[in-house]
C-alpha cells in the first residue's frame, strides 16, 4: 500500500541513502486498479493508494527523492493489471508525467515481438514529448533473448536509458551466479553497449533479504558495481540489518559505481582454481579490480601481479581495499601480491596511479588481450 512507499521515502531521506545517491523509489507491478476509468486512463488502486500517485510523488519530491512507476507494453501487466497497448502509449506517458513520475519501467508481458519493436521506441518518443525528464527502463531485450541478431543494441541505446537483458533475479545465490554467468559469457556483446545514459541492467540487489550470506552479499555489490549496473535495492529499509546497510552504503563502492566514464567492466581472468578476476577502468587512469572466489570450501590465497593482469609497465599504484579500507602504497606493476578470498566472496581493490608510464592507460586497455 501507499504507506509502505511513504515510510520507505522517509528511510531513504533520513538514514543516509539519499545522500549517497539512492534517489529513486520505484513502485513495481500491481499498483493500479483492475480497470481503466471512463476516459481510458490508468488509475491507482483506490484502497491501496487512496491519496493517488501524484500525492505520493509530491511527498517523495519534497524529500529530495524521485518516484518511479511500472507499466507493461501489452494487454496486461505480468501481474494481470491493465497494460499499455499501442493505442494507449501517448495517453499513459502523459498520465505518468502529470503525476510527477521520474522513472518508468516498461515490462513486456502479453505482447508480441512486433508490438515491442514498435511500442518501446514509441514510448520513448511519448515520454520525451511530455517535456518531463523521465528515466526509461525497458524490458525489451529480455523478451528477445538478450543477444543479437534479435536484439539491436545500437537502437536500444538510442531508445532506452537502461534495459533488462536477462531473467528476473530471485532471492538466491544460484540466481546471482546465473546472471553473472550470462553477462560475462556474453561480455564481448554487452560491455561495449553500456555507457552514460544507456546501461545494461542485471536486475536488483537482493542484499538485506534472505538468500545471500554476508560474503555473497559483498560479492553481489562488488560485481554489480564492476558491471556498471544501476544499483536498485530490493529490501525493507525499516528493518535492514547493520551489516547489509554497511555493504549498501559503502561510499567508495558507490563512487566507483557512479564513475563518470561509465565504462562497464570485464572478466579478465578465469582460473582452474575457481578464482575469477574482473576489471573496470575508471576516470583519471584509476581502475577497480574484483577477485572473486566461486569456491565453497575454504579461504583461498590467490597470488598474481598487475603485470599478469595487463596493467601498463613501469606504473606505480596506490591501492585501497574497498571493504576493509586498508591502503597499499607504491604497488608496482611487476610486484607479486597475494589476496585471501573467502568462499563465494570477493576482495575488491580501487587502484589510483601514483606514477604512470609514458603510454596512456586507455591505449593499453584497448590493446590488452582478453
Mean pLDDT score across all residues of the chain: 96
> Which one of 19, 168, 181, 335 is the catalytic residue?
168
pLDDT digits (tens, 9 = 90+) for 350-364: 999 997 766 555 544
pLDDT (0 to 100) of residue 358? 61
Q: How far apart are CA 370 and CA 368, in angstroms?
A: 7
Instruction: Check residue 360 and give its pLDDT.
Output: 55
Res 75 pLDDT > 60:
yes
Q: What is the pLDDT of residue 356?
A: 72
pLDDT at 248 over 90: yes
- According to DSSP, residue 359 is labeled S
- Kindly state which CATH superfamily the domain 266-353 is placed in: Golgi alpha-mannosidase II (2.60.40.1180)
DSSP string, 184-212: HHTHHHHGGG-BTTBEEE---B-TTSSS-
**CATH 2.60.40.1180 domain range(s) in the chain:** 266-353
**Distance between alpha carbon 9 and the CA centroid of its chain, in Å?**
20
Q: Which of 102, 107, 201, 203 is catalytic?
A: 107
Task: pLDDT band for 155, please (50, 70, 90 cuts).
Answer: very high
CA atoms within 13 A on the CB side of 264: 25
Per DSSP, the three-state class of 266 is: strand
**What CATH architecture is 2-258?**
Alpha-Beta Barrel (3.20)
- pLDDT tens digit string along 18-68? 999 999 999 999 999 999 999 999 999 999 999 999 999 999 999 999 999
Residue 92 designated active-site: no
291 versus 370: which is more confidently predicted?
291
Share of the chain above pLDDT 90, in %: 96
Is 168 one of the annotated active-site residues of the chain? yes
pLDDT tens-place string over residues 181-230:
999 999 999 999 999 999 999 999 999 999 999 999 999 999 999 999 99
pLDDT in tens, 257-267: 999 999 999 99
Between these two residues, 232 and 355, which has the higher pLDDT value? Answer: 232
Q: pLDDT (tens digit, 9 = 90+) per residue, 89-101? A: 999 999 999 999 9
Q: What residue spans in the chain does CATH classification 3.20.20.70 cover?
A: 2-258
Provide the 8-state DSSP code for 148: T
Res. 286: pLDDT tops 70? yes
pLDDT digits (tens, 9 = 90+) for 112-153: 999 999 999 999 999 999 999 999 999 999 999 999 999 999
- 145: cell is 533473448
What is the pLDDT confidence band of residue 370, given thresholds at 50, 70 and 90? very low
Residue 370 buriedness (CB in 10 A; 0-12 / 13-18 / 19+): exposed
Per-residue pLDDT, 119? 98
The set of residues, in sequence order, having a beta carbon less than 8 Å from that of 305 and lying 6+ positions away, is 333, 334, 335, 336, 337
By CB neighbour count within 10 A (0-12 exposed, 13-18 middle, 19+ buried), where does 67 fall? buried
- In 3D, which of 337, 275, 269, 261 has the Cα closest to residue 306? 337
Q: 319 by DSSP, 3-state: which?
A: strand
Amino acid at each position: 500500500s501507499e504507506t509502505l512507499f511513504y515510510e520507505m521515502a522517509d528511510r531513504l531521506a533520513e538514514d543516509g541513502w539519499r545522500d549517497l545517491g539512492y534517489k529513486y523509489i520505484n513502485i513495481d507491478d500491481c499498483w493500479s486498479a483492475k480497470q481503466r476509468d471512463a476516459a481510458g486512463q490508468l488509475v491507482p488502486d483506490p484502497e491501496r493508494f487512496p491519496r493517488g500517485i501524484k500525492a505520493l510523488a509530491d511527498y517523495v519530491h519534497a524529500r529530495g527523492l524521485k518516484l518511479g512507476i511500472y507499466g507493461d507494453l501489452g494487454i496486461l501487466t505480468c501481474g494481470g493489471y491493465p497494460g499499455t497497448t499501442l493505442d494507449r502509449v501517448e495517453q499513459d506517458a502523459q498520465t505518468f508525467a502529470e503525476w510527477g513520475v521520474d522513472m518508468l519501467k516498461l515490462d513486456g508481458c502479453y505482447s508480441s515481438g512486433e508490438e515491442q519493436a514498435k511500442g518501446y521506441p514509441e514510448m520513448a518518443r511519448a515520454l520525451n514529448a511530455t517535456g518531463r525528464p523521465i528515466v526509461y527502463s525497458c524490458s525489451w531485450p529480455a523478451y528477445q533473448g538478450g543477444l543479437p541478431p534479435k536484439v539491436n543494441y545500437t537502437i536500444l541505446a538510442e531508445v532506452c536509458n537502461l534495459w533488462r537483458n536477462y531473467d528476473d533475479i530471485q532471492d538466491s545465490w544460484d540466481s546471482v551466479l546465473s546472471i553473472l554467468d550470462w553477462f560475462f559469457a556474453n561480455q564481448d556483446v554487452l560491455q561495449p553497449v553500456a555507457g552514460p545514459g544507456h546501461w545494461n541492467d542485471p536486475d536488483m540487489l537482493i542484499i538485506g533479504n534472505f538468500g545471500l550470506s554476508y560474503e555473497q552479499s559483498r560479492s553481489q555489490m562488488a560485481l554489480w558495481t564492476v558491471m556498471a549496473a544501476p544499483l536498485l535495492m530490493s529490501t525493507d529499509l525499516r528493518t535492514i540489518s547493520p551489516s547489509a546497510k554497511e555493504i549498501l552504503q559503502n561510499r567508495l563502492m558507490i563512487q566507483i559505481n557512479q564513475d563518470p566514464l561509465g565504462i562497464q567492466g570485464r572478466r579478465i581472468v578465469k582460473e582452474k582454481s575457481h578464482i575469477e578476476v574482473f576489471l573496470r577502468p575508471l576516470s583519471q587512469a584509476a581502475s577497480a579490480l574484483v577477485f572473486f572466489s566461486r569456491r565453497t570450501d575454504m579461504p583461498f590465497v590467490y597470488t598474481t601481479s598487475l603485470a599478469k593482469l595487463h596493467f601498463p609497465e613501469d606504473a606505480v599504484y596506490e591501492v585501497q581495499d574497498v571493504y576493509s579500507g586498508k591502503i597499499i602504497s607504491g604497488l608496482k606493476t611487476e610486484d607479486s601480491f597475494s589476496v585471501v578470498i573467502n568462499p563465494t566472496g570477493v576482495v575488491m581493490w580501487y587502484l589510483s596511479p601514483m606514477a604512470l608510464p609514458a603510454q596512456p592507460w586507455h591505449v593499453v586497455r584497448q590493446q590488452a588481450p582478453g
